[in-house]
Copies of this chain bind each other. A is one copy, B any other.
Amino acid sequence: MAGEEAVSNKQVILSDYVTGFPKESDMKIITGSINLKVPEGSKDTLLLKNLYLSCDPYMRGRMSKLDKPSFVASFNPGEPLSGYGVSKVLDSTHPNYKKDDLVWGLTSWEEYSLIQSPQLLIKILDTNVPLSYYTGILGMPGLTAYGGLYELSSPKKGEYVYVSAASGAVGQLVGQFAKLVGCHVVGSAGSKEKVDLLKNKFGFDDAFNYKEEPDLDAALKRCFPEGIDIYFENVGGKMLDAVLLNMRIRGRIAVCGMISQYNLEKPEGVHNLMQVVGKRIRMEGFLAGDFYHQYPKFLELVMPAIKEGKLVYVEDIAEGLEKAPSALVGIFTGQNVGKQLVVVARE
């Protein structure tokens, strides 16, 4: 089967469905082989060389056996994981893509991927930025921060914005986006190093280490004596309960994710939802995919800001596909500092 162009193809395989916290041993590295040509007769198909792979919290859901998938299906044990990445087109039978195009979007956790009907791949036009940014600030996490903050939460100058998991792929951008419109921004994260980043690198007005706060309600009252107008929700559970007590009238909660809950057998109960009534709070969930049609508008805002140094982005880069399992596992215990990604190859 392997012809002239066949090369070895390292892959990260899901060994079996995961319960609780994922472990490195839930995945394994295997080496197959792949022909670097799209098979004859395959229409609208791409052969990609994967350069950067993104480790994202939502992937935890796909590692479980989902009876009723909400917005993503389970990974298949024995097959490579899939996720967002930056890739180079090596061969194409799709009219919109040609050899050497760079793309970002859904690919597989392997060196080379054959992608049919590439509906979720966007061509990279501007390469005067680190290519890895298309897994983060210029990719799905960027659109997530943009949509959840600007579109759902309509921040106004002077409003009080709180971001949890604030040094992560999305949080660091939410805070910076909120500062661009003149909000007062406070973030929380899980280490002194991350809190320092928030204050000194990302320009948050204040930040705290939630692991050192015995009383989250008290921490929020200290940071937000006037209360919170906008909460960008990344963690859920006890944090959400404490936030509800500190929301202001007509506050908005953009629900991006609840990473503190993903590895629990049963999610924690949230007790303070009655706050929603008297304060007329709006809680709204969203997915980055809801904002893909706004990607060109998003780039017009973000690209100049990056080049002028008005937006910065911190990445935590694991070198080599072999490091992908530990990198992915690490985001659920907060090992990463900034956006976690894996370099498979540098072009």
Tell me the A residues contacting B by CB distance below 8 Å.
Answer: 70-72, 236, 240, 255-258, 261, 266-287, 290
Contact B277 A266 (CB under 8 A): no
Contact A277 B285 (CB under 8 A): yes
Chief secondary structure at chain A's binding surface: loop
Q: Which of A256, A276, A290 has the most CB of B within 10 A?
A: A276
Contact B273 A277 (CB under 8 A): no
Contact B266 A271 (CB under 8 A): yes
Complex Cα spacing A283 to B279, Å: 13
- Smallest Cβ distance from A18 to chain B, in angstroms? 17
Q: Which residues of B contact A277 (CB under 8 A)?
A: 70-71, 255-258, 285-287
Q: Which residues of B contact A275 (CB under 8 A)?
A: 70, 285
Q: How many copies does the complex hold?
A: 2
Q: Which residues of B contact A70 (CB under 8 A)?
A: 274-275, 277-279
Contact B274 A271 (CB under 8 A): no
Q: Which of A271, A281, A285, A290 has the most CB of B within 10 A?
A: A285
Contact B283 A276 (CB under 8 A): yes
- Smallest Cβ distance from A200 to chain B, in angstroms? 31
Q: Which residues of B contact A261 (CB under 8 A)?
A: 274
Q: Which of A274, A287, A290 has the most CB of B within 10 A?
A: A274
11 contacts between A and B (CB under 8 A): A72-B278, A240-B273, A255-B273, A258-B273, A267-B274, A270-B271, A270-B273, A278-B285, A279-B285, A281-B285, A282-B283
Contact A290 B286 (CB under 8 A): no
- Smallest Cβ distance from A242 to chain B, in angstroms? 14
Contact B287 A278 (CB under 8 A): yes
Complex Cα spacing A71 to B284, Å: 22
Top 5 A-B residue pairs of the complex, sorted by shortest distance between their CB atoms? A269-B269, A70-B278, A71-B278, A276-B285, A277-B285
* Given A261-B274, A278-B285, 17 additional A-B pairs, CB 8 A: A70-B275, A71-B279, A236-B273, A256-B277, A257-B277, A258-B273, A266-B271, A267-B272, A267-B274, A270-B270, A275-B285, A276-B283, A278-B287, A280-B285, A281-B284, A282-B284, A283-B284
Q: Which residue of B lies closest to A257 (CB)?
A: B277
Contact B283 A283 (CB under 8 A): yes
Q: Which of A267, A268, A273, A287 has the most CB of B within 10 A?
A: A273
Complex Cα spacing A270 to B285, Å: 16
Complex Cα spacing A333 to B235, Å: 36
Complex Cα spacing A271 to B279, Å: 21
Complex Cα spacing A286 to B258, Å: 25
Q: Which residues of B contact A280 (CB under 8 A)?
A: 284-287, 290
Q: Which residue of B lies closest to A70 (CB)?
A: B278
Q: Which residues of B contact A281 (CB under 8 A)?
A: 284-285
Q: Which residue of B lies closest to A72 (CB)?
A: B278
Complex Cα spacing A154 to B277, Å: 18
Complex Cα spacing A321 to B290, Å: 55
Q: Which of A70, A257, A266, A272 has the most CB of B within 10 A?
A: A70
Q: Which of A267, A274, A277, A279 has the most CB of B within 10 A?
A: A277
